[in-house]
Chain A
Amino acid sequence: MTDVKNLEEIFQSKIDAEQKIEPKDWMPDAYRKNLVRQISQHAHSEVVGMLPEGNWITRAPSLRRKAILLAKVQDEAGHGLYLYSAVETMGTSREQTIDDLLSGKAKYSSIFNYPTLTWADIGAIGWLVDGAAIMNQVMLCRTSYGPYARAMVRICKEESFHQRQGYEIMAVLAKGTPEQKEMAQDALNRWWWPSLMMFGPTDANSPHSAQSMKWKIKRQSNDELRQTFIDRTVQQAEVIGLSIPDPDLKWNEETKHYDWGTIDWTEFNNVVAGNGPCNKERLAARNKAHAEGAWVREAAVAYAAKKAKRKAA
């Protein structure tokens, strides 16, 4: 026991000294488990996140928008890959991680269980959902696990166009016909609260947060990140003439932050529990894609074997 205690002390002192933990370092089981869960959930979110946006690729309003949306969805696939690779450095196989998503055992961000009803939803996702994700991901560039932090740096660099393309869509719609503006406002109305939920439970209700902060997996609390997101986004909505669907939203001169209403946590818990509008549809789509892609994976292996044989002959 003294040995483990000693190892834990060394481990924590590295973290306290702002040193990264690398795959071959000793780490507490709970740290490994916590990270495997968090990074794989993050990876699954990138992958499932392609579905609501993919829904609009064929119906994008112009070739320009279509090319952009394709490029964005392609980026999300890449981000899933970087993160799955980071999970593998912790000794969990890729197959296991994917199986956990397909069986429904692993979670992904609940935001992707909401439907994309109109083109404006693509704008709202880029602006709000990617905006919220970026807040979290910028923080994670400084997370204590080296491979995760490095994946995040790469992802953040690539994400930088995602939020802008979404905001641009919203700005154009808001300046368009009354119907277009209405469509943009409707998308904001539907995506605002789920976007705030993306930051997770309040600090008071987030039992694992303290440990994650001590291990410097997280560097800022859910509530801090959520507040910064609100402060920034309200100004952006004003600039394009849309209104945030929160009657309690009000600038507080004393705190220099916006005061705002209350999240419907019953809805949040419901969606996390699997009862959101699209939970079943998303999981079914992933399972279908995986099953229908089986022949491609098999063919690639067969082709590689054939090439190797030819080379040897």
Chain B
Amino acid sequence: MSENPNNWPLWEIFIQSKRGLDHKHCGSLHAADAEMAIENARDVYTRRQEGSSIWVVKSEHIHASRPEDAESFFDPADDKVYRHPTFYTMPEGAKYI
């Protein structure tokens, strides 16, 4: 990915702020290997106890949908209001439904 073999690759950083929650993307950094990426991520992104777990993934391994296609790509969900509970008429007086 880079011409200079001494250039450190880019890593995407995911932090789990608390046990039980999802890991969330919070940014990226350069590091020589995964271990260094994790340590650097700790130093950069969790200085104020923001994390309980860190995942690092080489940026080149992230594949993304294309922003310019977003409208047509996601439009199959646009006309399916019946996927939402408010679409349904509940009989008067029915509870817990």
Are A167 and B94 closer than 8 Å at their CB atoms? yes
Contacts of A235 in B (CB 8 A): 94-96
Are B80 and A71 closer than 8 Å at their CB atoms? yes
Query: Interface range on chain A: under 10, 10 to 19, 20 to 34, or 35 or more?
Result: 20 to 34
Contacting chain B: which of A157-165, A267-275, A297-305? Answer: A157-165
Give bound CA distance, A284 to B22, whole Å.
Answer: 37
Total A-B contacts with CB atoms under 8 angstroms apart? 66
Are B91 and A240 closer than 8 Å at their CB atoms? yes
Q: A168-B90, A239-B93 are in contact. Are A146 and B85 (CB under 8 A)?
A: no
Q: A22-B53, A232-B95, A235-B95 are in contact. Are A146 and B19 (CB under 8 A)?
A: yes
Give bound CA distance, A131 to B95, whole Å.
Answer: 13
Are B19 and A20 closer than 8 Å at their CB atoms? yes
Interface size on B, residues (CB 8 A): 22
For chain A residues 117-172, which have a beta carbon within 8 Å of chain B? 131, 146, 149-150, 158, 160-161, 163-165, 167-168, 171
**A68 contacts chain B at the CB level, 8 A cutoff:** yes
Are A71 and B90 closer than 8 Å at their CB atoms? no
Contacts of B97 in A (CB 8 A): 131, 163-164, 167, 232, 236
For chain B residues 42-97, which have a beta carbon within 8 Å of chain A? 53, 80, 82-85, 87-97
Are B96 and A236 closer than 8 Å at their CB atoms? yes
Q: Is the interface of A mostly helix, strand, loop or mixed?
A: helix
**A19 contacts chain B at the CB level, 8 A cutoff:** yes
With beta carbons under 8 angstroms apart, the residue of A71, A146, A236 that contacts B82 is A71
Give bound CA distance, A232 to B96, whole Å.
Answer: 7
**A10 contacts chain B at the CB level, 8 A cutoff:** no
Contacts of A232 in B (CB 8 A): 95-97
A interface residue numbers (CB < 8 A to B): 14, 19-22, 24, 64, 67-68, 71, 75, 131, 146, 149-150, 158, 160-161, 163-165, 167-168, 171, 232, 235-236, 239-240
Minimum-distance CB pairs A-B, first 3: A20-B20, A164-B88, A160-B85
Q: Assuming A22-B53, A161-B88, A239-B93, what are 19 further A-B pairs, CB within 8 angstroms?
A: A14-B19, A19-B20, A22-B16, A22-B19, A71-B80, A71-B83, A75-B83, A131-B97, A163-B97, A164-B85, A164-B90, A167-B94, A168-B88, A232-B96, A235-B95, A235-B96, A236-B97, A239-B94, A240-B94
